[in-house]
Amino acid sequence: MDICKTHENASKCSASTMECFMVLSTQAQKISIATLCGLFGTLCIFENSLVLYLIFSSPGTRGKPSYLFISSLALADILASIIFVCSFVNFHVFNETNFSKEMFLLQLGGVNTSFSASLSSLLLTALDRYISISRPSEYKLLMTRKRAWMALGVLWVTCATIASLPLLGWNCCTLNSTCSELFPFVDDNYLSSWICLIMVLLGCIVYAYAHVLWRAHQHVAYMEKHHVQVGKQNTRMRMDVMLAKTLVMVLTVLVLCWSPVLVLMIYSIFAKLSNHLRKVFAFCSTLCLLNSMVNPIIYALRSKELSSSLRRVFSQFRRQLKASEESPEAESTHKSSVIET
């Protein structure tokens, strides 16, 4: 453990020093992490795969820009679940160190790419709703399918490029600079830049949804002031209340899941972390996975079009199941009638 005491040295770049970052000391902690990752990861993959199937199996949804953004969100969350769970459990639970610095940075780049793409897809979804409520008459002209695909292409290329910078040379081993206390081989300046990027994304998402909520409130106030017909007013108010509830859920889940991780990352840049805080960070990291699990429930399954598609899929499944259960009985009845004859 002597090598762990010299954690602040920038020369800590050998594979053996990775043991210093394996902070889970008891079997109970490892089982807890493995259980959380397994549960959240499995549900996340199932839910987001279902969302992708519902979107692309329906001609009415797969061509709309808003559902393209939700598809990007679902794909990013699937990749985040697979890469994060495999690498995180392999490192912290099984204490696997038989891989090179490049392999570790490649895995870390995959995690960063998927989580950054997830948040960026949330931002595009927020901007889509921002444009739809602030400029409804121009929405179809501004948000075309071609522009949506171009935005998604820029999004994924940018996220992958930023996430691959440590692998390309921006790491504390190549630069002989200060290493992060939370991630092996990661330069503190790169971590600071990545935190700033995530904070900007979260800030833009919060601003866009806050504006949407404000405009929804304006609609209700306008209808009350001009005495809109009761039926129309009630319908509109129900829509605004539902929208408000959805957006409050979005912001609450987003802040609760990402705040602990970002706070500890920022704290690690300015102060030395204790082993206890590093264990807390390991458990808080699973909250990002929880966010990916909750995203399809908030963004996709609350959609009327996807909800109706989901009910249709379930009804078809029930009919097929009932038919498969009834077919053996019909066949046995047919055989018995033949024998009697």
- How confident is the model at residue 297, as a pLDDT? 84
- How confident is the model at residue 260, as a pLDDT? 92
- How confident is the model at residue 335, as a pLDDT? 47
Phi-psi region of 339 (alpha: psi -120 to 50; beta: other; left: phi over 0): alpha
- How confident is the model at residue 334, as a pLDDT? 46
DSSP 11: T
- How confident is the model at residue 17, as a pLDDT? 67
Contact call for residues 170 and 192 (beta carbons, < 8 A): no
- How confident is the model at residue 323, as a pLDDT? 81
Contact call for residues 29 and 279 (beta carbons, < 8 A): yes
Contacts of 304 (CB under 8 A, 6+ apart): none
Contact call for residues 157 and 130 (beta carbons, < 8 A): no
| Separation CA 71–CA 202 (nearest Å) | 19
- How confident is the model at residue 325, as a pLDDT? 73
Residue-wise pLDDT tens digits, 293-333? 888 888 766 777 787 888 888 888 888 888 877 765 544 44
Structure tokens given for 288: 């990002």
- Domain 23-310, what architecture? Up-down Bundle (1.20)
Query: pLDDT (tens digit, 0 to 9) for every residue of the chain, 341 residues total?
Result: 334 544 444 345 655 567 778 888 889 999 999 999 999 999 999 999 999 998 888 887 888 888 899 899 999 999 999 999 999 888 888 887 777 888 889 999 999 999 999 999 989 988 888 888 778 788 888 889 999 999 999 999 999 999 999 999 999 888 888 888 888 889 999 999 999 999 999 888 888 888 877 877 776 676 667 665 545 545 544 554 565 566 677 778 888 889 999 999 999 988 888 888 999 999 999 998 898 888 888 876 677 778 788 888 888 888 888 887 776 554 444 444 434 43
Return the H-helix or E-strand segment holding 237: helix 230-270
Structure tokens given for 142: 């501004």
Domain ranges of the chain: 23-310
